[in-house]
Amino acid sequence: MHGPQTIERSRSIKPPNSELVGADLSRAIHEHRLAPGTKLGEDELADIYGVSRTIIRTALQRLAHGQLVEIHRNRGAFVAKPTPKEALEVFEARELLEPRTAHSAALRATPEDVAALKAHIVKEHEAMARNDRGLALYLSGQLHVQIAKIAGQSTIADFVETLIARSSLIVALYWKRESALCESHAHHSLISAIEAHDATLAEELMVSHLVDLHSALDLRDVPKVATSLKDILG
């Protein structure tokens, strides 16, 4: 069984604060180590991270604001389980924002930016080669965030970051296609366009990449990771 137990606490000497805890949980969700719907008990997490519930609550509230976690009053926090409608909205929002960020990024990217993107892709490949699906997925999302940041619109970049995070949950629930190779190819050509400062091409590539991702989702069905009850009944 995977769950909070599998999260390794950071090895820093100082006890982690809410930001570190939040980042760690966020990463675990990104990498699909925490499945949608998983209960995030406060005492449990407090034990794991070696801090008081105060820290944990702060971290959970932060994640809840980013809609990675749902908090039900008096019932606790759970890894969010986006509905098909929400999933659709997230991808529609991405299709609205990200082509624009790709465009701007292509115009503004410095050689250092491009180098960072390429280094990122290398790590992505390594993770895939290692068959580390979780890490590959995380890195794949972070590339989109990085492009948004290069675009120099930190406000929109923040939005994109939120959307990417939620996309990870959506992939966990609604992904129907196994091969992720196409993605890697899409990222390559995208970076090439950015490197060549071909904004129009970058924008077009981003559009088709997102459409491709979007079409790899099966939003008709109920979530694969069903409620425990439903899971048993199904």
> Binding of a second copy at residue 74 (CB under 8 A)?
no
Distance separating alpha carbons of residues 217 and 230, to the nearest angstrom? 21
Distance from C-alpha of 148 to C-alpha of 135, rounded to nearest angstrom? 20
Question: How many positions of this chain bind a second copy (CB under 8 A)?
Answer: 20
Least gap, CB of 228 to DNA (angstroms) = 9
What string marks each residue from 162 to 201 as x (binds a second copy by CB under 8 A) or -? Answer: -x--------------------------------------
Helix (H) or strand (E) holding 154: helix 154-174
Residue 223 burial by CB count (10 A; 0-12/13-18/19+): exposed, middle or buried?
buried
| Closer Cβ to a second copy, 106 or 191, answer by number | 106
Angle between helices 84-108 and 154-174 in degrees, nearest 10 = 140
Of the pair 55, 114, the CB lying nearest DNA is at 55
Binding of DNA by 38 (CB under 7 A): no
Query: Minimal distance in Å, beta carbon 220 to a second copy?
Result: 19
C-alpha–C-alpha distance, residues 59 and 26, integer Å: 10
Q: Which of 154, 156, 185 is nearest to 98 (CA)?
A: 156
Per-residue binder mask for DNA (CB under 7 A), 55-84, x = binder: x-xx------------x-xxxxx-------
Cβ 57 vs Cβ 42: under 8 Å: yes
- Of 12-20, 149-157, 175-183, 195-203, which segment contacts DNA by CB under 7 A? 12-20
Q: For 22, left (φ over 0), alpha (ψ -120 to 50), or beta?
A: alpha
Which positions touch DNA (CB under 7 A)? 15, 17-18, 39-43, 51-55, 57-58, 71, 73-77
Which positions touch a second copy (CB under 8 A)? 57-58, 61-62, 65-66, 86, 89-90, 92-93, 96-97, 100, 153-156, 159, 163
